[in-house]
Amino acid sequence: MKMTINKSGSVTLSGLTATETDVILAIADTANRRCFREPEPNGEWYSNDDFILRLTDEQRQALAKIGGEIRKIYGE
């Protein structure tokens, strides 16, 4: 996985497989639909529900790979 920060400030992720992309989209969709209902009085958003996500073995392996690559990008 490669992350490129463009001159416009947008970010491009490249080198992802279709399964890795599916995992990212599934997580984002689940978080959007289930985890954030209303902002707190201080204006911040917190997850109020359990974060439930079902992955196949292939998707779980893809998620582990993505997580490792993200940690490399952020130097963790």
Query: Which pLDDT does position 33 carry in this prediction?
Result: 78
Residues 14-25 have pLDDT tens digits of 999 999 998 888
Query: Which pLDDT does position 12 carry in this prediction?
Result: 92
pTM: 0.67
Q: Which domain holds residue 14?
A: 2-73
Number of domains forming the structure of the chain: 1
Residue 20: burial class (beta carbons within 10 Å; 0-12, 13-18, 19+)? buried
Query: Which pLDDT does position 14 carry in this prediction?
Result: 93
Is pLDDT of 53 > 80?
no
- The token pair that represents 48 in the structure block: 């109020």
